[in-house]
Amino acid sequence: MKKLIPFLSLIFLAGCSNNSTTLQVEFADVSGLQTGSPLLLNGLKVGEVKKFSVLPSAHILTEVELNPLAKLHQNDTFMIASLDLLGSKGIIVKVSNSTMVLDLGQVQKGILEPTILDTSFVTAAGKIFGKITTEAQLDSLEKEVKKLNKNVEELRKK
């Protein structure tokens, strides 16, 4: 029994110890991200979102409980991205070429993954507007957009 007490104490202390590290990432927008969302490094879950707080800049400070065995590096990028077709979000680590270990005492800057709709629209709009060279073409485009809006409104009424 005397040998069992130190062993049980060791198990109790090991269970009480916190084997995680906190990573802080600042995002301008955390749409879709929630507590429990994963932090993925090359597809492997190495952390989990634990807490959000609003900064004076109106940005969101996201606290992530990080597995201490996960090795993150300076210049790694933290990006909120869709994880599946249902819209679940997580934080993906885009690994950099740096060999310098990330300073977890510093708040990291995060980015939001552009959606396919965003990038497709921007690309298409850039192609259209890049070809407009005269006032007459701009007027013609404006008339077409107004016709399109009118047609959409009529369809909504039906």
pLDDT the model gives residue 154: 75
pLDDT digits (tens, 9 = 90+) for 116-153: 554 555 555 566 666 656 666 767 777 887 887 777 77
| Same domain flag for 81 and 93 | yes
Query: How far is the C-alpha of 106 from the C-alpha of 99, rounded, in Å?
Result: 17
Residues 6 or more apart whose CB falls under 8 angstroms from that of 100 comprise: 73, 74, 75
Is residue 150 included in any domain, yes or no? Answer: yes
Measured in degrees and rounded to the nearest 5, phi and psi for residue 16 equal -80, -25
| Same domain flag for 109 and 40 | yes
CA dihedral 47, 48, 51, 55 (to 10 degrees): 60
Is residue 103 included in any domain, yes or no? Answer: yes
| Same domain flag for 98 and 129 | no
| Same domain flag for 109 and 140 | no
Is residue 37 included in any domain, yes or no? Answer: yes
Strand pairing category for 89-94 and 21-27: unpaired
pLDDT the model gives residue 13: 40
| Domains in the chain, number | 2
Query: How far is the C-alpha of 68 from the C-alpha of 91, rounded, in Å?
Result: 17
| Same domain flag for 109 and 53 | yes
| Same domain flag for 39 and 102 | yes
| Same domain flag for 37 and 94 | yes
Helices (H) and strands (E) in the chain, counts: 3, 7
| Same domain flag for 122 and 109 | no
pLDDT the model gives residue 17: 44
Is residue 6 included in any domain, yes or no? Answer: no
| Same domain flag for 52 and 129 | no
Q: Please report, for residues 141, 143, 145, 146, the alpha-carbon distance to residue 155 in angstroms, rounded to integers and kept in the order given.
A: 21, 19, 15, 14
User: What residue numbers bound the domain in which 48 lies?
Assistant: 19-113
| Same domain flag for 38 and 103 | yes
| Same domain flag for 35 and 50 | yes
- Give the torsion sign (CA, 86, 32, 37, 122): positive
Q: What is the mean pLDDT of residues 36-43?
A: 95
Q: Please report, for residues 115, 116, 138, the alpha-carbon distance to residue 120 in angstroms, rounded to integers and kept in the order given.
A: 9, 6, 22
Q: What is the mean pLDDT of residues 2-14?
A: 42
Q: What is the mean pLDDT of residues 6-35?
A: 70
Output the pTM of the full model.
Answer: 0.62
Is residue 1 included in any domain, yes or no? Answer: no
